[in-house]
Structure 1
Amino acid sequence: MTTNFDLQRNREPMPEEEFVVIVKYKNTKDYVTNGKVFLFYNEKQFKADNFEIAESRMYHNENEINTEDLVFTSKLDTDNYYASAENKTLQLQSKLQDSTEKQNLPLTLEESKAKYNNSTAFSFKNMQPNEERNVFYTLKTTPEMIKDTSAIVSVRGIYVPDENYDNHNVKDMEMEIVTSHDPNKMSTSAFLMNYRLVRFKKPKFKIKFQNNGEGPAKTIRLETDIPEIFDKSTIEVLDMYPKVKICPKYDVEYSCLDTTYTQKQAIFTFKNIYLPGSEQKNVKEYDSTKGFVKYRVKFGKNFHKIKTKSRTAIIFDKNEPIITNYSTTRFMPGISIGVKAGYNHFFDLDNSKSYFVGATLSPYKSYRLYWQVELLNSLHEFDGSTQVSEQFTDNGATGELLFRRTTTSSSYNNIDWEVPVLLRYNVNNYIGLGAGLQGMISVSQKESTTTTIEDYENINTVPGALISSETTSTENKESFTNFRSGFLVEATAGFARIGPSIGARYVFNFKENYNYMQFYAIWKF
């Protein structure tokens, strides 16, 4: 081993198949050590677990330990010693950490628990200097395993070489989900992203290939689709095999990797290399026939929330291209909460005044088509119908015939809740359209009724002088009454996806006299 800790696998994980993860660790100290190794798996970003441990094989008396009952030393082993003036050995903590060796073990374990759902661990004893050991874990993929063949999943190993100190090494091993063991493949770490948080992130992509010919390949060309949401000019090559230098702008005779661009593609070209073929004579190392390019790229300035698909054409020398699978990037729907307020104009109600305020819920910054749910609270005042009845009646005191007019009028003061559910479509960045259904119910309704009785002298059946008038008023309160439903259409102008806009909505109510126009302002966050 060239390092003291490593993770390896026998193949890529495939749904409903087993594969083996090999934990390799080595004692690089100059004394016998006792230590611990942790393995974390099943990332929390996935809804269901991808793996379960079917078997563990240990050959050096390792013991499984409970990861919940650990005690930390908070001591550091710096491995730095200096001679003192008294001819004694003086230990100083002066060594800086690198990217794989860390010192805060409790923090590393807490971060790992926050990222992964499951873990296992074992302790080892009496490991001699320079001794190497291996532990084999058979992982079985679950039926719920993510089926996206462009997805990258990972497991994490943590190696504590000496249990007396908190110094430790961390190794993350990325694996690509496959449906078949095709060596020519494209994958990405950006298969599911949070649109709110990706602005300054750089998604990673990996292109794998294998020379299955009978002779070596000298030139390998990878013609890779770059979706429009990414900025091709920001591509950064992170790793590759064969290991070569990046080509300069002038022609050279040594091995190098060149990157060029077309309108929709990035082209990676291995030049002047020697990649043996798997059918070539005297080739014993099968992995030596494989290669890859790993790169990352920034998002463009004004990219939309859309699903993308890209693939690579792999060309060995002058052979026909081999087309990889599609590598897919997606965004999580996210949640956008909006605040909405406005005025309802009822066409067929007298003296109607209706103001409302409410909230909206929709996917965050959707590109074109999306759903939206609202809850609106409105205060509504209006006059009801007025009824007038006229009749002749006897005056009980004198027996004379009187003319009586009875006028009954009502008014309403309601608190209404509206729940619209609609499908919206963004025409562009500034114009949006929508249609849907809504329900409305009066959570509080106060009906005020006024009755006026007027008696007149009867002169040849025509009302004469007013004799008396009496007015009475009554109130009636009800809760959760008068349910109404309807169909709505609307249009908005402003910032269609996020931010402020204004809109107008027409509601065709299934109940008579309740069609209305809604004018509003909304701000989505």
Structure 2
Amino acid sequence: MKPITLFYFVFSFSVFSFAQQDIVKDTTRRTASIEHKNLGNQIEFKANAPELNQIAGAPKAFYTNFWEFGDGTFSKEKEPKKTYKRNGDYTVRLWATNNYDIGKPPVTRPKKIKVNNATDDYKDEASMDNALNLQRNREPMPNEDIVIVLSYKNTKSYTTNGKFFLFYNEAKYKADNFNLIETRPYHNEKEIEDAIVYASKFDSDVYYASADDNLLSLKVKPQDTTVRKNLPQTLDDAKFAYRNSSQLRFDNMEPNEERHVFYSLKTTKEMLKDTSAIISVRGVYVPDNSYDNHHVKDMEMEIVTSHDPNKMSSNASFLNYRLVRFKKPKFKIRFQNNGEGPATTIRLETDIPDMFDKSSIEVLDMYPKVKICPKYDVAYSCLDTAYTAKQAIFTFKNIYLPGSEQKNVKAYDSTKGFVKYRLKFSDDFHKKKTKSRTAIIFDKNEPIITNYSTTRFLPGISIGVKAGYNSFADLKNSESYFLGATISPYKSHRWYWQVELLSSIHKYDTNTEIREEFIDDGAVGIPYTQRTTTSRSYSNIDWEIPVLVRYNVNNYIGLGTGIIGTVSVNEKQKQSVLIEQFEGQGADLFLFDSRTTNEEVTESFTNFRKGFLVEATAGFARIGPSLGARYVFNLEDDYNYLQLYAIWKF
């Protein structure tokens, strides 16, 4: 082998190998580990997490930690200190969430620790204001895990035995959003395998949300943690709204005792792809089995593809256009102060699409919790709402929201806030996709731009009834009437498809055929002229299947074009043949014989025709009645025709 050839071969192989190595992707999942050290009767925990990959243009990336200590307690602090009540072995779990980071959250192996410095008389600080609470370690991402904590408290003055439920996977979505992987109770809670037995008794020593036994249906409005009475109704409504549930019972719960149960769920690949959508789970807590008094708590979560504390979301991701007229979609703007100091003014400039009525905005909830600002300046904390042509502007005034990088701030949740609001649709709005986002401004800093929150409408189905007349200019004595049905998306804004099935009765005659011939065969005895006159008439039942693309110019004018196929499902042909015989040939012949024969032939599914069409309609273009004219160009001779019709879409 020549040296130059050898060099070329080695060089090519090296380049090929390098290229192969260069395109190999690192599929190794990042990991975080748990570190701990003893500090007297406390144990300090620390997360050893991988370096963050900053999202370009986003605020500084950071981790938030969720710790489960293995004894039924948890913490959201970055480096918590834990005091255990009993010596022994505990399994500690950590979920580190990467905010403003590219990629998935790191995974962490549970770590077993041995505790020898427990404090028997240590009492955990009370953390619950209500009898029932739901929390999560982070927002759900498709194909990732999430932890939901159901916390319940005995607000009675005596020891109780009761039960609680967690409902998940909303029935309004076709695919499941979660698979329950593991339930971790720490106070001997047991699964309920038998049918629920209702006490049908009520503890009158509590406040009820309603004085009546017939409560508002949970199908209509999610409930808060106010005490409810009608447990069968609550459970029936929850089973209607959710496909799956977990049911546990507990015993011997002391007065003012707080307990926590941890649910590990795996989000499915089929989880809603809309990253501005809001999904929910529901908790139901029955403090005492002797009574049907219970608490209900709904927790809303926002589907994300990356963990960004500044986010806009909505429960109006997919709407049924037929049913939205009197609905009020909800929107939520979340934000977090990532600065080194507190924010005193927070301005949220959010887009309001034209399909919504800005003046109908109703603030449902907020954090920090403040009053609505009056029309004059005040010195206390409040939330102001102003409007521009295309935006609503929410402004928190005179508040104190600490920064995540601020000294002595341990709980990241205290640096977060939100505004939740709802609004009505405009009087005249169209079925089209909208999107909106928010500019978040902390004091005088540069704005942080959120994701887009989208609103889409389900296609829906519109059925139409159509009738009219077909005019065949090239056919003799043509008479054709039709009746049919149409199907199309409901009340489309501009472009849409439409399929029709039309049945018509069509009668017409063909042109009369006359044939003359001179016969001199001697059979009659003399030469003669024979004239044959043939007439045909048709009476057909035709089926037409047009497939169109239509465009609504405005509310009243529509245009369309498409293809059409037609078949005669029943064709009845009548043929009349008149034979006349004349002496000799030429003019002024003498008729010496004539006879007529009639024949009738019926065929099925014959005479298939195909073509294309154009049309225009005037009236109510999207729904309701309209008049139309269509011209069909058939690829067969004599079958072009004009169709005039009336249609009503429902």
User: Which of the five TM-score ranges fits, normalised by the shorter chain?
Assistant: over 0.9
Q: Does residue 1:26 correspond to 2:157, yes or no?
A: no
Post-superposition offset of 1:162: 2.8
Q: Deviations over 1:494-519 (max 9, x none)?
A: 11111111000011111111110000
Aligned counterpart in structure 2 of residue 511 of structure 1, from 606, 630, 636:
636
Residue 44 of structure 1 is matched in structure 2 by 171
Residues 204-353 of structure 1 correspond to what in structure 2 (within 5 A)?
204-353=330-479
Instruction: Measure, in 2, the Cα distance between the counterparts of 1:123 and 1:447.
Output: 80
SS state of the match for residue 590, structure 2?
Answer: strand
* 8 Å contact kept, 1:54–1:139: yes
Residues 355-366 of structure 1 correspond to what in structure 2 (within 5 A)?
355-366=481-492
Post-superposition offset of 1:147: 2.0
Post-superposition offset of 1:107: 2.7
Check 1:400–1:171 CA distance in 2 against 1; reply closer, same or farther (3 A cut). Answer: same
Q: Does residue 1:354 correspond to 2:480, yes or no?
A: yes
* 8 Å contact kept, 1:80–1:94: no
* 8 Å contact kept, 1:456–1:463: no
Aligned counterpart in structure 2 of residue 451 of structure 1, from 570, 577, 588:
577
Instruction: Measure, in 1, the Cα distance between the counterparts of 2:191 and 2:530.
Output: 99
* 8 Å contact kept, 1:150–1:176: yes
Post-superposition offset of 1:463: 5.8
Post-superposition offset of 1:26: 2.0
Residue 488 of structure 1 is matched in structure 2 by 613
* Worse-superposed segment, 484-493 or 51-60: 51-60
Q: Deviations over 1:297-328 (max 9, x none)?
A: 11111011111111111111111111111111
Residue 100 of structure 2 is matched in structure 1 by none
Instruction: Measure, in 2, the Cα distance between the counterparts of 1:515 and 1:398.
Output: 47
Check 1:101–1:419 CA distance in 2 against 1; reply closer, same or farther (3 A cut). Answer: farther
Q: Deviations over 1:345-389 (max 9, x none)?
A: 112111111100111111111111111111111111111243222
* 8 Å contact kept, 2:176–2:271: yes
* 8 Å contact kept, 1:72–1:106: no
Residue 442 of structure 1 is matched in structure 2 by 568
* 8 Å contact kept, 1:506–1:516: yes
* 8 Å contact kept, 1:220–1:270: yes
SS state of the match for residue 138, structure 1?
Answer: strand
Q: Does residue 1:502 correspond to 2:637, yes or no?
A: no
Residue 138 of structure 2 is matched in structure 1 by 11
Post-superposition offset of 1:187: 0.6
Post-superposition offset of 1:47: 2.7
Higher strand proportion: 1
Residue 87 of structure 1 is matched in structure 2 by none
Aligned counterpart in structure 1 of residue 202 of structure 2, from 62, 67, 77:
77
* 8 Å contact kept, 1:72–1:166: no
Q: Deviations over 1:26-73 (max 9, x none)?
A: 22233433322222211222232111111111112222234xx62443
Aligned counterpart in structure 1 of residue 591 of structure 2, from 466, 471, 477:
466
Residue 551 of structure 2 is matched in structure 1 by 425
Check 1:345–1:95 CA distance in 2 against 1; reply closer, same or farther (3 A cut). Answer: closer
* Worse-superposed segment, 352-361 or 472-481: 472-481
Instruction: Measure, in 1, the Cα distance between the counterparts of 2:212 and 2:513.
Output: 95
Instruction: Measure, in 2, the Cα distance between the counterparts of 1:415 and 1:74.
Output: 68
Q: Does residue 1:195 correspond to 2:293, yes or no?
A: no
Instruction: Measure, in 2, the Cα distance between the counterparts of 1:251 and 1:171.
Output: 37
Instruction: Measure, in 1, the Cα distance between the counterparts of 2:249 and 2:593.
Output: 104
Q: Which amino acid aligns with 1:260?
A: A
Residue 18 of structure 2 is matched in structure 1 by none
Structure 1 alignment gaps of length 5 or more: 82-92
Instruction: Measure, in 2, the Cα distance between the counterparts of 1:258 and 1:382.
Output: 75
Residue 120 of structure 1 is matched in structure 2 by 246
Check 1:398–1:411 CA distance in 2 against 1; reply closer, same or farther (3 A cut). Answer: closer
Q: Deviations over 1:85-112 (max 9, x none)?
A: xxxxxxxx97877954333333322322
Instruction: Measure, in 2, the Cα distance between the counterparts of 1:368 and 1:524.
Output: 16
* Count of aligned pairs: 511
Check 1:217–1:397 CA distance in 2 against 1; reply closer, same or farther (3 A cut). Answer: closer
Q: Which amino acid aligns with 2:335?
A: F
State the Cα RMSD in Å: 1.9
Instruction: Measure, in 2, the Cα distance between the counterparts of 1:324 and 1:121.
Output: 38
Residues 57-206 of structure 1 correspond to what in structure 2 (within 5 A)?
57-66=184-193, 70-73=195-198, 75-80=200-205, 99=223, 100-206=226-332
* 8 Å contact kept, 1:80–1:95: no
* Worse-superposed segment, 397-406 or 490-499: 397-406
* 8 Å contact kept, 1:457–1:463: no
Check 1:358–1:168 CA distance in 2 against 1; reply closer, same or farther (3 A cut). Answer: same
Instruction: Measure, in 1, the Cα distance between the counterparts of 2:393 and 2:646.
Output: 48
Post-superposition offset of 1:419: 0.7
Instruction: Measure, in 1, the Cα distance between the counterparts of 2:258 and 2:571.
Output: 81
Residue 20 of structure 2 is matched in structure 1 by none
Instruction: Measure, in 2, the Cα distance between the counterparts of 1:363 and 1:147.
Output: 22
Instruction: Measure, in 2, the Cα distance between the counterparts of 1:298 and 1:27.
Output: 40
* Worse-superposed segment, 280-289 or 462-471: 462-471
Residue 39 of structure 2 is matched in structure 1 by none
Q: Does residue 1:476 correspond to 2:629, yes or no?
A: no
* 8 Å contact kept, 2:536–2:575: yes
Instruction: Measure, in 1, the Cα distance between the counterparts of 2:231 and 2:403.
Output: 45
Residue 89 of structure 1 is matched in structure 2 by none
* 8 Å contact kept, 1:393–1:402: yes
Post-superposition offset of 1:471: 1.3
* 8 Å contact kept, 1:50–1:142: yes
SS state of the match for residue 456, structure 1?
Answer: strand
* Worse-superposed segment, 399-408 or 460-469: 460-469
TM-score for both structures, normalised by structure 2: 0.76
Instruction: Measure, in 1, the Cα distance between the counterparts of 2:508 and 2:416.
Output: 78
Instruction: Measure, in 1, the Cα distance between the counterparts of 2:600 and 2:438.
Output: 76
Residue 647 of structure 2 is matched in structure 1 by 522
SS state of the match for residue 171, structure 1?
Answer: strand
* Worse-superposed segment, 243-252 or 121-130: 121-130
Instruction: Measure, in 1, the Cα distance between the counterparts of 2:382 and 2:436.
Output: 25
Overall identity of the aligned pairs, in %: 69
SS state of the match for residue 109, structure 1?
Answer: helix
* 8 Å contact kept, 2:459–2:490: yes
Instruction: Measure, in 1, the Cα distance between the counterparts of 2:602 and 2:232.
Output: 63
* 8 Å contact kept, 1:40–1:112: yes
